[in-house]
Amino acid sequence: MGELPAAVRAGGHSGVNTPRLLQIAHDDPAAIRAELLAGLAAPTATISPKYLYDALGSRLFSAITELPEYYPTRTEAAIFATELPHMAEVLGPVATLVDLGAGNCEKAARLFSAFRVQRYVAVDISASYLRESLEFLQQKHPALDMLGIGLDFSQHLTLPAEVGDGPRTLFYPGSSIGNFTPNEALAFLRQARAECRGGALLIGVDLVKPADILEAAYDDPLGVTAAFNRNMLLHLNRLAGTDFRIAEWRHVAFLNATESRIEMHLEALRESVVQWSGGKRRFAAGERMHTENSCKWRVEDFATLLERAGFSRLRHWTDARAWFAVFAAFS
């Protein structure tokens, strides 16, 4: 990934600091198309879950977080609401808070005063998505130094020099770590540890629980998760020039207990041939395309993973049902 000389000032409201925005170059469209077509041509077609998030996909995910069946978001929020003072005690004052996958920045904003944050760095796939949220937050926290970085860290996490020197607290909530396989999670945590520069990681992790609760959370009766998954096909059509017809595909989500993960797939309802310029793939009726893993961890296994990544002095907090955990770990 090359860096664009694109540090720009966002907006302008006199009398208030304005957040800076920095975009690290996206992969070029040809590379994205090649990656997607290679995934489609694989014996079991597999597409990275990051392609669930086009503009509509992001809105659908936001709707998922409001579903009664989708417990992770509200369970994690309840842990933060209850345990924030204890977390602040463990972490001490946070000079730089780096929010990985910041979105609307709401989760991090709840930490600012308890953690006495001086510098807030929001990282998400596109800096322009962050502009509005950061400008809004800057009005509420005029003294806070704010930087928005557009960066795809799903393959590799290297933060630009603009984040500044000194220890950082990396914040990675929402159990997004669950969308990595355990090996990928370990590699990511090792990179995160290096980026802490002597600081800490605060990370949300979804825990193992009964299959019926997990499967309902990923296959809700309203069909929002199904729409989220099937919408990926529209995104693929735009990015890779494929001709998927959504009506021919259904959403499938189930617990793979051996791998301790929910798997999402798209299943062909009938035989279908998907074409693109220069190629095609035939799917038999019932054949699946793998679109997401969402790993569920046991507290002790995740603690071991953090230690293997080089973190120490671990602490964790859970809700009363032990459905979700927030870990603090020092680099």
- Residue numbers of the site for ligand AVI (CB under 6 A)? 64, 72, 174-176, 178-179, 218, 225, 292, 294
Q: Which is nearer to ligand AVI, 195 or 292 (CB)?
A: 292
* Min dist. Cβ of residue 62 to ligand AVI (A): 10
Which residue's CB comes closest to ligand AVI? Answer: 294
Beta bridge partners of 281: 274
Smallest distance from ligand AVI to CB 150, Å: 18
Q: Are 121 and 143 in contact (CB under 8 A)?
A: no
> 318 exposed, middle or buried (CB, 10 Å; 0-12, 13-18, 19+)?
middle
Which of 19, 174 has the CB closer to ligand AVI?
174
| CA gap 83, 298 in Å, rounded | 20
Q: Of 147 and 157, which has the nearer Cβ to ligand AVI? A: 157
Smallest distance from the beta carbon of 59 to ligand AVI, in angstroms? 13
Q: How far apart are CA 202 and CA 18, in angstroms?
A: 26
Q: How far is the CB of 3 from ligand AVI (least distance, A)?
A: 26
Taking the least distance from each CB to ligand AVI, the nearer of 163 and 177 is: 177
SS3 string, 46-66, reads: ECCHHHHCCHHHHHHHHHHCC
Q: Which is nearer to ligand AVI, 242 or 293 (CB)?
A: 293
Q: Give least dist CB 130 to ligand AVI, A.
A: 17
**According to the 3-state scheme, what is the secondary structure of 153-187?**
CCCCCCCCHHHCCCCCEEEECCCHHHHCCHHHHHH
CA distance 286 to 252: 11
